[in-house]
Structure 1
Amino acid sequence: MTWSEMRPLLEQACWDTLHMVGWSTLIAVVGGLPLGILLVLTDKGGLLQSLGANKVIGQIVNIARSMPFIILMVALMDFTRTITGTTIGREAAIVPLAIGAIPFFARLVETAVREVDGGLVEAVQSMGGNTWTIVRKVLVPEALPSLIASTTTTVVALIGYSAMAGTVGAGGLGDIAIRYGYQRFETDLMWITVAILAVVISVIQFAGDYAARSLHRRGGKAGPAPKLRLLKASTATSKTV
């Protein structure tokens, strides 16, 4: 196969992969962020301590995480058909990709939020800040570098999942590698696909690490005292409103 024949295939495959990963990442962040925070808040000693609720949420997350992605795709076929009207193609692949990524991202969020300095939380509580204020002004901003790193990890994992989704007709780079590289013995095209995936993952990882390090350095330079002053001011403003 010549380059002129491979180029349109690779361009469409790259777009399909980015489309699937982009939308599934967005859904995973929207669904996984509050779920991960809720795991922290409802745990022992949390602001919304409820061990029963915590165990239920934790078990649901664990079960969803333990399911292999290929099995998850098959198990969700009826649900995917209800949402998208089909079980084939990139739009259909977004459903299992997002559902599989939500619990994965939620556990990463839980770990990131637990690393937040408890002294800042206690300081805002002493100023009269409620749970929503603590989440919005302390937990999420302080955990932001780790949350960005967690998002990067999720994106990289979803790229791998999307390649697996290509084996069942979802399109993307995985579909090209299987259909042409494996089934038709077009090894050149397969290795080009592998190289593209490696470059994309490297770029995403570099960008995510750079953003996380930049935010971490900025937060470290601020120090605890300025943070407390800002939190005090924002808490007072919230009370006034």
Structure 2
Amino acid sequence: MIHVHQFPCLSDNYGYLLHDTQSHETVAIDTPDAREYLRQADLKGWRITQIWNTHWHPDHAGGNAAIQEATGCTILGPAEVAGKFPLDRALAHGEVVTIGAVQAQVIDVSGHTNGHIAFHLPAAGLAFVGDSVFALGCGRMFEGEPGQFWESLSRIKALPPETLLYCAHEYTASNARFALHADPGNAALQDYADEIAAKRERDEPTVPAALARELATNPFLRADDPAMQARWGGSTPAETFAALRAAKDSF
């Protein structure tokens, strides 16, 4: 059985420890704050045996060295991590990694960075998506191109709708404000935004997010919807996505 331990770290990151109760393996999903990851693992009585990086940014791989030094764990992630932070095994789209007997599929979700990957655990109904997609948003396009990023989001859209998306930051309230601007007639979005506001008022996390709900409300996942294309222009989903991303960058 897989258990996910979620905790806040840095200013707005979420840390994740993935623990298999049969093998007693523990995976750190990214390493924004090595000290906090080690403290949380100690509180749970777990020992980190692997790190799975989603991309190279320091708030995702910056704790690799310290955690490996403390635990002797193995570090897996995209090739872009190497040369910046420790990496033992480079991963590419279509590969499979395991925690105990549980498999995680590696998915190319590049666009935020050119090597960004996500980890989908189909048996557990979970996906760790880093900064590729957020609740009601997506990552900034620092390195990629609109067509590339849209293809990445399409891979996420194709996952089973019951999948829970574990993204890396608590950006949902600000994402909701832009989403309402981008898609003002969406009643499901307004209900979602109201729930988000109430959760943040109580200082509760809005992550994980259910993919089915994101498909109905996240404007970046709806760039192939005719209504969104009519509102934001673009003859293709990639062009509509590009218009939405540019608008969010200056919102």
Class of the TM-score when normalised by the shorter of the 2 chains: under 0.3
Which structure is larger by alpha-carbon Rg, 1 or 2? 1
Q: Which protein is richer in helix relative to its size?
A: 1
Q: TM-score, normalised by structure 1?
A: 0.24
Q: Which has the higher strand share?
A: 2
Q: Structure 2 length as normaliser, TM-score?
A: 0.24
**Higher relative contact order by CA 8 Å / sep ≥ 6: 1 or 2?**
1
